[in-house]
Amino acid sequence: MLGTVVQQRMSTQVLEAHAVLAAMEKSLAMIQFNRQGIVIWANELFAQAMGYRAEEMIGKAHRQFCFPEFVESREYERFWTNLRNGIPFQEKIVRMASDGSSIWLEATYMPVYNEDGEAIAVLKVATNITTREQAAARLTSELKQMAAELLHRTQDGITRSRQLSASMELIVQDNETSAGFLLDLEKQASAIRGIVQLIRDFASQTSLLALNAAIEAAHAKEYGRGFNVVAVEVRRLADQVQSAAKNIQVVAEGMARQVSKVSESSQLTREQLVSSQQQIRQAAEEFAEIGSAAVKLDGQAKTLNVML
């Protein structure tokens, strides 16, 4: 009676194992290789993913599903050595479909052991993730393209900002030079006002001297006629000098006012130029920060590409 119960339990366990295997075969792409890497069995899901019929895959070598650069590498040799020694392998891999295109698989290679614990075959269970990888590759490509375009535009912006900043620097320097000229001109106008005042003082003294000479000539009567003529001419000349001095003073004061206005305008322009120059420098710094961000974005895109 006990033996019958045990047999029933074992039978149930065997049936459950078969059911599990059948469920896995319906859901997962599966293929089996012998120790030499030759296909001894494959289900339809795996065959369809690779572009074959299941019966077509029997007898094909594993290397036929790999790209030449992998087959010819030491990594491929180590890969099979580990499997023959009973070391499983689980990784995201790329394989070559029947039409030569790439197919991405999330694969697990599991050694199959005999009763003596010897690895006699390798079972591979895989999930086709090609669509996901292609979408990720497109996203990575778009990120890299965006980063490259952003970096290019940023570099152009930095270059143009620096050029504009250099031009503004020259304008500021020219403005400072002009301001220096205006300052010199203002000093000269002030000197002219001083000279004009000296001329007016001299003309006043000359006019006073001519008046005294005329008085003395009047006292001298006939003896002073010639002297009086000279006195009159000196006084007339003094009046002309006085009148010219007034005109010069008017012109000098007008020039001084204009110089002052130009100087104030020049100072305001200089302040605006300096402010603009600072803003340009700030913009260039911001462009540089954007450039750094673009470089980081490009780096992250490359890292994502490697991870995927």
Q: 110 and 62 share a domain? A: yes
What total number of domains does the chain contain?
Answer: 2
The distance of Cα 88 from the centroid of its chain, to the nearest Å, equals: 46
Q: 124 and 214 share a domain? A: no
Q: 194 and 69 share a domain? A: no
Give the three-class secondary structure for 31.
strand
The distance of Cα 270 from the centroid of its chain, to the nearest Å, equals: 31
Total residue count of the chain as it appears in this document: 308
Q: 295 and 166 share a domain? A: yes
Q: 274 and 148 share a domain? A: yes
Residue that is last in its domain, among 128, 159, 185: 128
Q: What is the DSSP letter of 98?
A: T
pLDDT at res. 4: 45
Residue that is last in its domain, among 81, 105, 128: 128
pLDDT at res. 258: 66
Q: 175 and 264 share a domain? A: yes
Q: 35 and 167 share a domain? A: no
Q: 113 and 149 share a domain? A: no
Q: 158 and 118 share a domain? A: no
Q: 108 and 179 share a domain? A: no
CATH code for the domain in which residue 93 is found: 3.30.450.20
User: Which residues span the domain enclosing 154?
Assistant: 137-307
Helix, strand, coil percentages, rounded to 5, for the chain: 75, 15, 10
Q: Mutual orientation of helices 225-307 and 130-220 as an angle, nearest 10°? A: 170
Q: 251 and 162 share a domain? A: yes
pLDDT at res. 29: 93
pLDDT at res. 5: 39
With 0.75 as the threshold, say if the pTM is over it: no
Neighbours of 296 (CB within 10 A): 11
Q: 163 and 241 share a domain? A: yes
pLDDT at res. 1: 44
pLDDT along the chain (308 residues), means of 10: 44 58 80 96 94 95 96 96 95 95 95 91 94 84 74 71 68 66 66 64 64 63 56 64 67 66 65 66 66 64 58
Could you give the count of Cα atoms lying within 13 Å of 159 in the half-sphere of its Cβ?
6
Residue that is last in its domain, among 69, 103, 128: 128
CATH code for the domain in which residue 291 is found: 1.10.287.950
